[in-house]
Amino acid sequence: MCVVTKNLEIPRRALAIGAHPDDIEFGAGATLAKWSEQGCEVSLLICTDGSKGTWNPEVNIKDLITTRKSEQLLAAKELNLSGKVIFLGEVDGELENSTNLRKRVTLIIRNLQPDIVLTHDPWKKYRLHPDHRNVGCLALDALVAARDPLFFPEQNMPPHRPKELLLFEAEDEDHFEQCEGFEKSKIQALLCHQSQFESTMGIGSSDIDSGANSFREVELSKLDYSHIENDLLLAEGFKRISEL
């Protein structure tokens, strides 16, 4: 039987690793806002440049990359995050879990020393987007490398072993973070990603207000886990991996 846990002790530092601008807010935005308010230093690592995130084939790619970066920074402000927002800048849709990239992410983990790492569940069934799978694997492999001293010794950094790993958009959710009072921050942060209104959020340009309202309702309904436990009316669900 699956054991459900709730509400980890507030970490001192957390690092969320996502494939694209907006992924982390979808997966863990309310949890990160909650932890931030309690004094946790939350940093974000965005692995790709988001350069394929539009349905407009005429778009200027450089402008899109700049826009998505600034939207991500705004979203981090909306969540009141006090850590860093780091952009790896890999090409959207083409990220590979290479040794070189794993080395870069390992160095970031060793530098930031997070108590908790959050990322995509790489084992989510039937997921189409390769970046979500590959970033999940990249983050996990980098975590393993960061904790053991014989991986990338040329970094000349002490190893760092996070205490917990939380996978968002998870196949088998077994941990929940209650987030009453932080659902609005999550949704406002998501709405900072205006370039994604049409392609990701279903908000048409003809009536942005009503589209945004529908989006709010859908996102709020996703936070309702009361079918699992009564007190999980507003929560985010994760797969939790401890004893790393």
| Residue (130 or 204) nearer to Zn ion, CB | 130
Q: Which stretch binds Zn ion (CB under 5 A): 11-19, 108-116, 142-150, 166-174?
A: 11-19
Work out how close the CB of 244 gets to Zn ion at its nearest, in angstroms, rounded to a whole number. 25
Q: Which stretch binds Zn ion (CB under 5 A): 15-23, 60-68, 100-108, 113-121?
A: 15-23
Tell me if 68 contacts Zn ion by CB under 5 A. no
20/175 with CB nearer Zn ion: 20
Is 23 a binding residue for Zn ion by CB under 5 A? The answer is yes
Give the residue with the Cβ less far from Zn ion, 2 or 128. Answer: 128
For the record, the structure tokens of 181 come out as: 């009072």
Q: Is 64 in the site for Zn ion (CB under 5 A)?
A: no
Contact 71, 42 (CB under 8 A): no
CB-nearer residue toward Zn ion: 23 or 78:
23
Contact criterion met (CB below 8 Å) for 117 and 17: yes
Report the residue closest to Zn ion, judged by CB: 20
- Report CA torsion sign: 172, 19, 141, 119: negative
The residue range among 18-26, 162-170, 175-183, 226-234 that interacts with Zn ion, by the rule CB under 5 A, is: 18-26
Between strands 13-18 and 41-48, the pairing is parallel
| Number of residues engaging Zn ion in binding (CB under 5 A) | 3
Stretch that binds Zn ion, among 14-22, 79-87, 140-148, 187-195 (CB under 5 A): 14-22
Residue closer to Zn ion, measured from CB, 95 or 146? 95
Q: Which residue stretch of 19-27, 82-90, 112-120, 140-148 sits at the interface with Zn ion (rule: CB under 5 A)?
A: 19-27
Got the DSSP string for 100-146?
HHHHHHHHHHHHH--SEEEEE-TT-TT---HHHHHHHHHHHHHHHHH
Tell the smallest beta-carbon distance from residue 129 to Zn ion (Å). Answer: 6
Q: Is 19 in the site for Zn ion (CB under 5 A)?
A: yes
- Among 15, 17, 20, 65, the residue binding Zn ion under the rule CB under 5 A is 20
Residue that is written with structure tokens 């699956």 in the block: 2
**CA 123 – CA 9 distance, rounded (Å):** 26
The answer to whether 166 touches 115, Cβ cutoff 8 Å, is: no
Closest CA to 168 of 65, 14, 49: 14
CA atoms within 13 A on the CB side of 244: 23
Q: How far is the CB of 132 from Zn ion (least distance, A)?
A: 6
Which phi-psi region, left, alpha or beta, contains residue 14 (left: φ > 0; alpha: ψ -120 to 50)?
A: beta
Question: Which spans of this chain sit near Zn ion (rule: CB under 5 A)?
Answer: 19-20, 23
